[in-house]
Structure 1
Amino acid sequence: MTVSPSRFALFYALYFALLGCIAPYWGLYLHDLSFSPAEIGSLMALFGVVRILAPNMWASQAERFRGPVQMVRYAGLLTLVCFSLIFITQSFVGVAMVMLAYGFFWAAMLPQYEVLCLRALGNQVDKYSRVRLWGSIGFVVSVTALGVLLNAFEVGVLPIVMWALMMLITVNSWLMPDVSHPRSPSEGGGESFWRYLFRPAIVGFILLNVLLQLSFGPYYTFFSIYLDEAGYSAAMTGVIWAVGVIAEVVLFWQFGRIMHLLSWRAWVIVSLVLTALRWLLTGVLIGSLPSLFILQILHAFSFGVMHAVSMRYVQKLFPDHFHGRAQALYSSVSFGVGGALGAWISGLLWEPMGGTLVFALAGAASLAGAVVAWLTLSPVKR
């Protein structure tokens, strides 16, 4: 039995609606708890660190489950249970433990869904983009609605909304058909899998994604705080975030029609250069709302193009029986290593250097990723 694309669309909508709570507003919640920028950066870095470990640890235990669906069911349930503890702690250590615990299980879900979805769609990136865009729609709805909600209520309402979304994600996973896929005898053979990582194209692919996510560090950790300090309301903060993701939605919807215009490597390089420009000008033009809207549109490249093409590279660079582990690796090293470093470094530098310079450094990291892509990736165009 195969899983309907609509079931994946619902998962993406809910999962990224939850991300729409975390990325723009979790920093504000931590700020409301009176944590310093360094503490906020450290907490977000810890959340990134667990995303390094969790996908690979779960993928290495895949043979203990009937299939990916059973795995995401348990991961969703344990995510919900662990996050529930946020309602009984506000200390730095307590919040850190909750973030580590629920993050460990939450991070296990997306790579498995990505593998299931791509298999169900025959690894066709254009079809995948049209299913994945529902995640962007979920993010837009979440971030916009929360902006309005936080204008009316205190930011303390945020964990309640997040808990409700986690409950819906868990329910959705238990309603999915319990499909399983035959495993190759070599799947799970760690030694042969790790040998692939020494290939120049794979090293370059991993490094450029680490640099990209490192560049997102100040954006995911401090952008909403930066907007608040610049005088923007919570509702307008939600709108600003939504503009970027709406551009991402349009990109996912139309990417199948335009992807043939450039090679995969060219798409990566163009996206990373535009991302570098985006971060540099964000720090300079934070006080100009029209400029921020224009810069947010570049999120179509910073995330939309980069994720769609990266998913295809994962399928190309690794053989079929390693796609599950490769997807977990991609998730852990890019969003985990890159995200953790970006959050930690931006937390350390935010007060002494200020937002303008920190965003400029983020731009430099993205530009370095473009150089890595030019030197290591092959110009595939299919």
Structure 2
Amino acid sequence: MSPADFRRYALFYLGYYGALGAYTPYVGRWVAANGHSGYVVGAMLALWYGGRIVAPPTWARMSARSPSPGHWLVAGCVLSLLGFAAFAGFDAGMMLFVTMAWFGVFFNAVMPQFEAMTLSALGQRNHDYGLIRMWGSIGFLIVAGTYGWLLDRLGNDAFVWLTLPWLALTVFAAWLHRNDRPATVEAAPTSAEPLWRRPGARRLLLTAMLMQLGFGPFYVFYTLHLQAHGHGGFAVGMLWAIGVVCEIAMFYLAPRLVQRFGAHRLMTACILATMARWTMVALLGDSFAWMAVAQTGHALSFAAFHAGCMRRMAELFPVRRDMAAAQGLLYGFSGGIGGVAGAGLAALTWQAGGGELAFLSGAAIGIATLLAHTLALRAPRAAAAES
């Protein structure tokens, strides 16, 4: 990949995750400020993650058949921008949920396509994925670290207008890829069986889904949990920023860690660190210092885990024509099913016992995640012993 291509790919991640840096930490605050309950906040995020179930695989199939997949990327980003702009007029009632569904479908559709484009462009250097993805974390850092302070001063109504420029940047970055051609298909034959039946695929999908399920309280209620414990907008932004700084550092180190320890062992460490992290958030929410320590865990629980998943995806689906569909499958299972279930569980536990119960439930889900991942580790060894 040339330096010019690197910049093109990095710019898209910067814009996309910059928009996500506004949405993920602060949409719950915006919804709650408009007078809605925790159930409505949870329903909004469930619709968001629901878009990941339907949109990625459908979008991947259509874009993969197109001789101009870059045009699909541009179209998805434009429709995402228009969908989010509608929040300026619809902040209550049924249209709030319709707008959320529109935005969730198209915004979630484009990233699996772009992930596949990135991995295809990297080819055998897929271990360098973290160096490009790191720019998404930089965008997230800039926004998540400053918007809490900005919303304290400008008011929660500014949330939509502060987010739109990042979506516009995503449209511009997608335009730079408008003429990208479909990846050259290798001559090697591809198995005719469904992608999810590939050896190891279902276990990876289950592990990723459970990990996302445990993240439900964090993505839906972390900002509200901090506010409930007396932390102001500046402190909330700082805590989000700490997590993303550690995430950026990990994406920089991830290629070497994946090569040295392998994806399986690295993902095991990530799951254990995540269990400890949610326990700290649940029980020590009053302390900014302890929350800062917990946020350093984002390096493992998100960045390293994501890099490990991408390495496993490249190993499981080496033929490039399978990659877009496989990425859509991963997003549908993890971010889709896991995200919807996580948002629903978070809403129920939040209403029943506040942030403490919500985050303790996230830590408990880590046990199931570790079990699923351990089974994934043992399966290849058992198969090797039988052969």
Shorter-chain TM-score: what band?
A: over 0.9
Deviations 1:233-262 (A, max 9, x none): 111101101101110111111222333332
Look up the equivalent residue of 1:331 and give its one-letter code.
Answer: Y
The answer as to whether partners of 1:75 and 1:105 remain within 8 angstroms in 2 is yes
* Residue correspondence of structure 1 range 176-195 to structure 2 within 5 A: 176=177, 178-182=179-183, 184=185, 192=192, 194=194
Partner Cα separation in structure 1 for residue 145 and residue 80 of structure 2? 24
Partner Cα separation in structure 1 for residue 47 and residue 286 of structure 2? 31
Deviations 1:154-187 (A, max 9, x none): 0110101222211111122113351212565999
Q: Which residue of 1 aligns with 2:384?
A: none
Partner Cα separation in structure 2 for residue 137 and residue 18 of structure 1? 11
Partner Cα separation in structure 1 for residue 133 and residue 209 of structure 2? 22
The answer as to whether partners of 2:213 and 2:338 remain within 8 angstroms in 1 is yes
Partner Cα separation in structure 2 for residue 60 and residue 177 of structure 1? 18
DSSP-derived class of the 1:232 partner:
coil
The answer as to whether partners of 1:349 and 1:358 remain within 8 angstroms in 2 is yes
Q: Which residue of 2 aligns with 1:256?
A: 255
* Residue correspondence of structure 1 range 335-354 to structure 2 within 5 A: 335-354=335-354
Q: Which residue of 2 aligns with 1:59?
A: 60
Partner Cα separation in structure 2 for residue 14 and residue 378 of structure 1? 40
Q: Which moved more, 1:345-354 or 1:33-42?
A: 345-354
Partner Cα separation in structure 1 for residue 379 and residue 142 of structure 2? 36
The answer as to whether partners of 1:18 and 1:165 remain within 8 angstroms in 2 is yes
In percent, how many aligned pairs have the same letter? 29
Deviations 1:75-111 (A, max 9, x none): 0111112222212112231111111001111111111
- TM-score norm. by structure 2 comes to 0.92
Q: Which residue of 2 aligns with 1:266?
A: 265
Q: Which residue of 2 aligns with 1:120?
A: 121
- TM-score norm. by structure 1 comes to 0.93
Q: Which residue of 1 aligns with 2:83?
A: 82
Partner Cα separation in structure 2 for residue 54 and residue 167 of structure 1? 21
Look up the equivalent residue of 2:284 and give its one-letter code.
Answer: L
Unaligned regions of 5+ residues in structure 1, if any?
Answer: none
Q: Which residue of 2 aligns with 1:324?
A: 324
Partner Cα separation in structure 1 for residue 63 and residue 258 of structure 2? 33
Report the CA distance shift for 1:224/1:212 in structure 2 as closer, same or farther (over 3 A). Answer: same
Partner Cα separation in structure 1 for residue 193 and residue 60 of structure 2? 12
RMSD: 2.2
Q: Which moved more, 1:22-31 or 1:122-131?
A: 122-131
Q: Which residue of 2 aligns with 1:108?
A: 109
Off by >6 Å, runs of 4+ in structure 1: none
Partner Cα separation in structure 1 for residue 337 and residue 5 of structure 2? 33
The answer as to whether partners of 1:266 and 1:379 remain within 8 angstroms in 2 is no
The answer as to whether partners of 2:126 and 2:314 remain within 8 angstroms in 1 is no
Deviations 1:54-77 (A, max 9, x none): 001111212453233111111011
The answer as to whether partners of 1:72 and 1:109 remain within 8 angstroms in 2 is yes
Report the CA distance shift for 1:193/1:178 in structure 2 as closer, same or farther (over 3 A). Answer: farther
Unaligned regions of 5+ residues in structure 2, if any?
Answer: 381-387
Question: Are 2:290 and 1:291 equivalent residues in the alignment?
Answer: yes
Report the CA distance shift for 1:63/1:111 in structure 2 as closer, same or farther (over 3 A). Answer: closer
Report the CA distance shift for 1:221/1:123 in structure 2 as closer, same or farther (over 3 A). Answer: farther
